[in-house]
Amino acid sequence: MKNLVVYMGIGLIRLVSFLPLPAAHALGALIGKVLWFTDSSRIAKINLRICYPNHSEEQIEYLARESLTALGKTFTEMGMSWMWPIPKVQKLITQVEGLEHLEKALEEKQGIILIAPHLGNWEVLNHFFRQYLYMTVMYKPAKIPALDKFIFSTRKRVEVGLVPADRSGVESLYALLAKKEVIAVLPDQEPGLKSGVFAPFFGQTALTGKLIGELANNTPAALLCCYAKRLDDGNYGVVVKPAHKDIRNTDEVAAATALNVSIEECINDCPEQYQWNYKRFRRQPEGRSNFYKK
């Protein structure tokens, strides 16, 4: 039964890939409206109230609606990012901010740690960076073999290196940075308790991964934040900016705090495109939070 659902899902992605991007975005916006009537809207508003306490309720509701619309578009963009010819996808990237930071890091040849929060369409970043470099990302295999095979093949299509999201994968990242290569890490998912520390995120304590700080503190690699945001004309703008240097702080909390500040700066550029429906504050120092309880 699970395989049947997966094959149906893959089939839908293939069907959507035949749509022009404006039509796919319209479908994504419709999905976003449907998501408004699910628990995703409640979680998004809770997170936004925590992170933007000075916003009015009208502003919170606007951002929540827009973020779910953006999430819907991310779903319907899978056909484009995973199945369109790579040159066709790259033509959609019509604006680049901070390319000089990437070029400088490449010239220095000390390796690069790309920090990519769940903002805009992170799959588009794969298409952008393949024009300049070869990068490796951590990959958590899907539990259903058919789905895992499909996702794996789409990622390999854009020539991205993949390592497992476990101890062996972490060791691989260290080895790659020792060879001055490029890795990319998603920094804003809640880690396990042993893999994280509690640090402020938009003023609220959040369990934050230690991996980026540990990698940065043990290598001379450049630290660059990056994201691909949707532009008003339906195309994409890629932003590359230096992350805060204090991510290299030997104090784990200070490093995690600097990481979160870097993520906040990215989000504040286009907060309506952030994944606010994720329970980012689920764990607190005293245990599980009450933020998301109904």
Given this model, what pLDDT does residue 132 score? 95
Report DSSP letters for 149-166, one per residue: HHHHHHHHHTT-EEEESS
Given this model, what pLDDT does residue 35 score? 96
CA distance 36 to 6: 24
List the structure tokens of 237.
């703008």
30: left (phi over 0), alpha (psi -120 to 50) or beta: alpha
Given this model, what pLDDT does residue 149 score? 80
pLDDT in tens, 159-213: 889 898 889 999 999 999 999 999 999 999 999 999 999 999 999 999 999 999 9
CA distance 219 to 111: 8
Question: Residue 74: is its pLDDT beyond 90?
Answer: yes
Query: pTM of the predicted model, to two decimals?
Result: 0.94
CA distance 99 to 241: 8
When mean pLDDT is compared across 56-65, 144-153, 200-209, 238-247, the lowest value belongs to 144-153
List the structure tokens of 164.
């497992």
